[in-house]
Amino acid sequence: MEIQKKVIGVLTSGGDAPGMNAAIRAVVRAGIEKGHRVIGVRRGYQGLLNKDVEEMSLRSVSDIIQRGGTMLYTARSPEFRTEAGVDKAVANCHELGLDGLVVIGGDGSFRGARDLSNKGIPCIGIPGTIDNDIGSTEYTIGFDTAVNTVVESIDRLRDTSQSHDRCSVVEVMGRRAGHIALHAGISCGAVSILIPEREFNIDVDVIDRMRATLKTGKQHFIVIVAEGVGDSKRICEYIEEKTGIESRLTVLGHVQRGGTPTALERVHASVMGYRAVELLEQGKGNRVVGIQNNRTVDYDINEALEMTKDIDQYLYKVAYEISI
């Protein structure tokens, strides 16, 4: 059966994440290799509203697989969140001749993809966010690099906290999720990892733990606070007040969003980009791609948006028990 050639759009939306470029590259290369045209939409849904597009070629995605950020730029578009905005985007898709769209972003971006799909533009979502907070996939593009960036930074902080017998309190990103905090925390031997998914008592879960380990000879500490917990400054001050150990707060901020994507990102992003093109080619839309048990999977977007993800309980238990 001959496959009908299509015009496939691709955009990145929401916060950028290392590995997005690898996904764009895969969509462009797979699309063109299979005989389709691929149009890059710049600055996410806002670019769709402004018809800010470029024809992609095999060479327009050369030399990007190793780069952080997104070559298509990204944005958060308040206009697209309105019904009129979605209608305008649909009209623009028709004008541009797009038969389908690949959306690389987080769950807000997936909701946009669902809205477009509901109005007749088949969309496929690829999870791209450092937060790893998407229920339908074990992995989101950017998470692995962000965790590695945090770990590298904390290793440096450890050198100086060790030299000064201090406590380093480190605030990491993750929006309302604690995945970055937990994975970085276990990797860096943090004495306490405070995340929004778990209630904690600062006196028990931080101060008492520090006091207990002081008795075993430990002299410097790393405490990780996920941004979703809030007020890391106050937490840092409280630790110093209660333990008498000089404490310093480091808010890692947007450095966590940059840098060279790890090999893992590049592999998963490439495979998910390829799968997105296969789905559009099969005439499917309103689906998201993901990784489960190291395999590529896809789900209906509505079903995917209903899925929730808790932190890895076992990892949390292990981190808690061995960092004493």
Nearest partner of 217 among 169, 165, 168, 170, judged by Cα: 165
For ligand F6P, the binding residues in 49-68 under the rule CB under 6 A are none
Q: Judged by CB, which is closer to ligand F6P: 109, or 247?
A: 109
Task: Name the minimum Å distance from CB 309 to ligand F6P.
Answer: 14
- SS3 of residue 287 by DSSP: strand
Q: Judged by CB, which is closer to ligand F6P: 18, or 31?
A: 18
Q: Which stretch binds ligand F6P (CB under 6 A): 51-59, 66-74, 172-180, 271-279?
A: 172-180
φ/ψ of residue 251, rounded to 5: -100, 110
Beta strands of the chain (E only): which ranges?
Answer: 7-12, 37-41, 53-55, 100-105, 123-127, 167-172, 192-194, 221-226, 247-251, 287-292, 295-300
Q: Which stretch binds ligand F6P (CB under 6 A): 92-100, 171-179, 304-312, 315-323?
A: 171-179
Q: Judged by CB, which is closer to ligand F6P: 7, or 71?
A: 71
Q: Which stretch binds ligand F6P (CB under 6 A): 85-93, 167-175, 188-196, 306-314?
A: 167-175
Question: What letter represents residue 113's amino acid?
Answer: A
Task: Name the minimum Å distance from CB 14 to ligand F6P.
Answer: 6
Q: Judged by CB, which is closer to ligand F6P: 167, or 181?
A: 181
DSSP string, 62-117: TT-TT--S-TT-----TGGGSHHHHHHHHHHHHHHT-SEEEEEE-HHHHHHHHHHH
Q: Which of 131, 133, 205, 298 is catalytic?
A: 131
Total of residues contacting ligand F6P (CB under 6 A): 10
50: which residues sit within 8 A by CB, 6+ positions away?
43
Note whether 257 binds ligand F6P by CB under 6 A: yes
Residues in the chain: 324
Q: How far apart are CA 265 and CA 211, in angstroms?
A: 39
Question: What letter represents residue 191's amino acid?
Answer: V
Q: How far apart are CA 41 and CA 274, in angstroms?
A: 18
Q: Which stretch binds ligand F6P (CB under 6 A): 32-40, 169-177, 278-286, 296-304?
A: 169-177
Q: Judged by CB, which is closer to ligand F6P: 100, or 228?
A: 228
For ligand F6P, the binding residues in 90-149 under the rule CB under 6 A are 106, 129-131
Active site residue 131: yes
Q: Contact positions toward ligand F6P, by CB under 6 A?
A: 15, 106, 129-131, 173-175, 227, 257
* Residues with active-site annotation: 131
